[in-house]
Amino acid sequence: MSSLSEFHFLAVLAQEMNMRKAAERLFVSQPALSQRLQTIEKEWGERLFVRSQKGLSLTPAGELVLKFINEVIVKEEKVRESIHALNAEVYGTLKIAVASIVGQNWLPQVLKKFVTRYPQAKISLVTGWSSEILKSLYEDQVHIGIIRGTPDWKGVKTHLFQDCLYLVDTEITSPEQVLETDRPFIQFKSDSNYYQEIQDWWLKHFKTAPKRTIVVDQIETCKQMTFNGIGYAILPAITLNGAEKDIFKIPLLDENNLPLKRDTWLLGYESAFQLKQVQAFVELIKEHISEENKL
């Protein structure tokens, strides 16, 4: 039976599909890599990879073996995490999936504190849209997710913070001026309920669509286009750090004349919150939010 080290060896080969790149990652020569692969293939009784000028490709037997190997590696990692959880020190990998807007604007300060306080812990971070984060949680690819809006989640759900929405522009100083300007309304794509919230607010206030719109795929692009005077946008406070120059920020108000806000939530399954690295991260987040509220 192959050892765990050989499983990781085959996993690297499958990730790279290139003998030279795999050899570099494994810190071995290509001849040594080829010889080790031949030994492993003899043990399985089948060829697992086919070599060509374009690189490596998996045989049908190789696909079956790699599926098994990946399952074993995932289970191995969970066992290691459980073992580390028995110790007082915070070890293991903290796997997080975070809404892009949070990952770009709020999370870096938290992660800086985490890696400073817990140098033995590792971090695996993915960012994306809300649907992608929920998918990562459902498929058990991450320990916790941080999401915007109002998520439909049956596990542990902790509210982190709210931030206000602003009409942002280099010229417009009141919402009513959008009806007079010919400059475009710059919007960014989102799969959360953010877009619908903006649409609802707009129609309640103006009863008509913007004269011109530009749709971009990233909120940072939207922000930079707005700051450079191309048009106006509606942005959450999390993207505005207060250092913007010559920018007007007009808070959006709801029908009760209260600020329109976006929620940020932390999600996960109960089992993940038993891991020490997750517990430490959650506690640090609470500390960070408490410090922010005092400012």
Q: What fold does the segment set 93-161+263-294 form as a domain?
A: D-Maltodextrin-Binding Protein; domain 2 (3.40.190)
Residue 125 has pLDDT above 60, yes or no: yes
Nearest to 172 by CA among 249, 261, 259: 249
Domain spans, the chain:
4-85, 93-161+263-294, 164-260
How confident is residue 2, by pLDDT bands cut at 50, 70 and 90? low
- Could you give the percent of the chain with pLDDT greater than 90? 59
CATH of 164-260, one of 1.10.357.10, 3.40.190.290, 3.20.20.70, 3.90.1150.10: 3.40.190.290
Tokens 């009863």 belong to 207
What is the rounded CA–CA span in Å between residue 120 and residue 244? 37
CATH of domain 4-85: 1.10.10.10
Read off the pLDDT of each residue in 77-86 and give the average, rounded to a whole number: 75
The mean-pLDDT minimum among 158-172, 206-220, 222-236 falls in 206-220
Residue 89 has pLDDT above 80, yes or no: no
Tokens 């590696």 belong to 73
- 168 or 219, greater pLDDT: 168
Residue 191 has pLDDT above 70, yes or no: no
**What is the structure's pLDDT at 1?**
44
Read off the pLDDT of each residue in 175-199 and give the average, rounded to a whole number: 84
Q: Which two tokens stand for residue 170?
A: 């280099």
Q: Which two tokens stand for residue 288?
A: 């960070």
How confident is residue 80, by pLDDT bands cut at 50, 70 and 90? confident
| Residues near 127 by beta carbon (within 8 Å), at least 6 away in sequence | 97, 98, 99, 100, 103, 104
- 195 or 94, greater pLDDT: 94
**What is the structure's pLDDT at 295?**
67
**What is the structure's pLDDT at 199?**
84
What is the rounded CA–CA span in Å between residue 187 and residue 235? 9
**What is the structure's pLDDT at 198?**
86
Q: Is the pTM of this model over 0.85?
A: no
Strand partners, 126: 97
Read off the pLDDT of each residue in 203-207 and give the average, rounded to a whole number: 85
Residue 282 has pLDDT above 90, yes or no: yes
164-260 shares the fold of 4-85: no
Nearest to 285 by CA among 88, 111, 136, 155: 111
Read off the pLDDT of each residue in 186-214 and give the average, rounded to a whole number: 84
Q: Mean pLDDT of all residues in the chain? A: 89
The mean-pLDDT minimum among 23-37, 79-93, 277-291 falls in 79-93
